[in-house]
Amino acid sequence: MATEHLSPLDLAFWRIESATHPMHLGALAVFEAAPPGPDADPARGPGAGAAVRAAELLTARCTAVPGLRRRIHDVLLPIGAAAWSSDEGFDPARHVFLVHTDDPEAAAGPLMARPLDRARPPWEAHVLAGPDPRSFAVLFKFHHALADGLGALALAAMLFDEGPPVRGPARPAPAPQPPGSALRNLPGVLAARVQDVGQALEIGASVARAGLPLGVPAALTAAGPARTGTRAVAGLALQLDDVNRIRKVAGGTVNDVLIALVAGALRRWLVGRGDPEPEGPGPRALIPVSRRRPGGAAKYGNRLSGYLLRLPLDEPDPLLRLDRVRSGMDRNKEAGPARGAGAVALLADHVHPLGHRLGGPLVAQAARLLFDVLVTSVPLPSFTFSLGGSRVREVYPLAPLARGHALAVAVSTYQGTVHYGLVADAAAVPDLADLAEALRAELAEFVREVS
């Protein structure tokens, strides 16, 4: 069987990881416990029994998902490369854990801070049985080398109860090439190489033009004593109807409104904690963009580019702030996801595997120079997930936190509700719950403006 090497971008995510900055993404799914069965323990309540059942189901089902049995190992050639292989000693007990906790959200922070075992398939599922007998939660962790947001969703969906498929039909296999076609295609291959080099130079120039992280609020950085490697997690659920009302009155897309809410919440949070009122062009938000074809298979690995957007924290008017976000996103979309400073992920394709291996730590250190905060959106299907009959009530996506960054924001829409998942360096942002409440207050003010 041919060796399946990691793609350049997957390899980059694998190499830039460190003990204090793990490169896994996650999702905290909150379940509404199914009614207890006849053999349930009345003393523990339906939530505890449902959590145990969920852990058993995840343990049994994960063995049947090939993508969850794959591990990463170094290879001799090409030098610096890594490849996928099946873990012949795969043990579900090393990936699925049952945790009893008084506060599932608080427990998620330390679990997100803990790196995955790089010698095993890089994923975990922690079933969090809390004191509420009506619910439990599951924290899924997938290494970014294994999957991007859509790929992780496809893997997790295979563990839930049967429902509509999360992915579309796979693309047809390419037709076999006739003999001699490689030579005939050589001019096109050379032209593509020249185009690739031009693209890399253009992206590099855009990164330089994007500017250094000057004037970024100190609360958004985790440097020196503030960089601890600890994590805090907070989730917030908002009504999609309110977001759509803003969109219809003020214009833009749903994503534009969601980003503008983040900008307004950051401004509100900074002023509320006594920091100087924001000035200048604002922090640079990296907005990941999927490069997967619509309706295509949600394969493993990463197909990502991105946009870079200055968040207008200096603008006190929410409608004008949305207008600036919309204008910036329109400029990004006009240029496309293959160019601009936000497309820096595409540069991974131009680096030799040895460069990833030797330069990974340097690239990780440079993340602070490329952007200031991550704001990512993970689309979820419209149907309801369930596990052992327990229905998923809320889903909070959780993004990895790059070195030097204090905050990462992820957002998903599920069952008519917008779920913001906030991940922060716990020492740099000890008041993460206040930022979550600032998001709620910002939406309320926005609704008042358009009503």
Distance, in Å, from the CA atom of 272 to the CA atom of 430, rounded to the nearest integer, reads 14
Predicted TM-score (pTM) of this structure: 0.86
pLDDT digits (tens, 9 = 90+) for 199-248: 444 444 444 445 555 567 778 887 655 566 799 999 999 999 999 999 99
Question: CA quadruple 240, 269, 267, 409: dihedral positive or negative?
Answer: negative
Find out whether the peptide bond into 78 is cis, omega within 30 degrees of 0: yes
Nearest CA-CA partner of 141 in 186, 175, 110:
110
Most trustworthy range by pLDDT among 17-21, 58-62, 298-302, 369-373: 58-62
pLDDT at 427 over 50: yes
Q: Which range, 90-99, 171-180, 282-291, has the best average confidence (pLDDT)?
A: 90-99
Question: When comparing pLDDT for 219 and 349, which is higher?
Answer: 219
Tokens 């009504």, residue? 239
Question: pLDDT value at position 174?
Answer: 40
Report the pLDDT averaged over residues 338-367: 71
- Residue 407 CB contacts under 8 Å (≥ 6 apart), including other chains: 220, 373, 401, 422, 423, 424, 425, 429, 435
What percent of the chain has a predicted confidence (pLDDT) above 90?
Answer: 57
Three-state DSSP state, 206: helix
Residue with more model confidence, 159 or 149: 159
The answer to whether residue 14 scores a pLDDT higher than 90 is: yes
Share of the chain above pLDDT 70, in %: 78
Q: For 424-451, what is the mean pLDDT?
A: 95
In 3-state terms, what secondary structure has residue 413? strand
For residues 103 and 352, the model is more confident at 103
Highest mean pLDDT among 119-128, 271-280, 329-338: 119-128
- Among 146-150, 279-283, 322-326, name the most confident range: 322-326
User: What band does 59 get if pLDDT is binned at 50, 70 and 90?
Assistant: very high
Q: Tell me, what's the pLDDT at 300? A: 64
Q: Give me the pLDDT at residue 233, please.
A: 96
pLDDT at 400 over 90: yes
Mean pLDDT of 25-36: 90
With CA atoms as reference, report the closest residue to 146 among 48, 70, 216: 70
How far is 128 from 100, CA to CA, in rounded Å?
6
Short-list 322, 372, 299, 380, CA closest to 342: 372
Q: Which of 71-75, 164-168, 285-289 has the lowest mean pLDDT?
A: 164-168
Q: Which of 111-125, 212-226, 273-287, 372-386 has the lowest mean pLDDT?
A: 212-226
83-87, 153-157, 228-232: which range is least confident on average?
Answer: 228-232
| Bridge partners, 392 (sequence order) | 31
Quick one: pLDDT at residue 109?
95
Tell me: pLDDT of 322 over 90. yes
Per-residue pLDDT tens over the stretch 134-152: 899 999 999 999 998 888 9
pLDDT at residue 203 in the model: 47
Q: Please give the average per-residue pLDDT across 72-88, as a whole number.
A: 94
Please determine, for residue 271, whether its predicted confidence score (pLDDT) is greater than 80: yes
Structure letter (DSSP) for residue 19: S
187 Cβ contact partners less than 8 Å away, ≥ 6 residues apart = none
The band of 170, judged by pLDDT with boundaries at 50, 70 and 90, is: very low
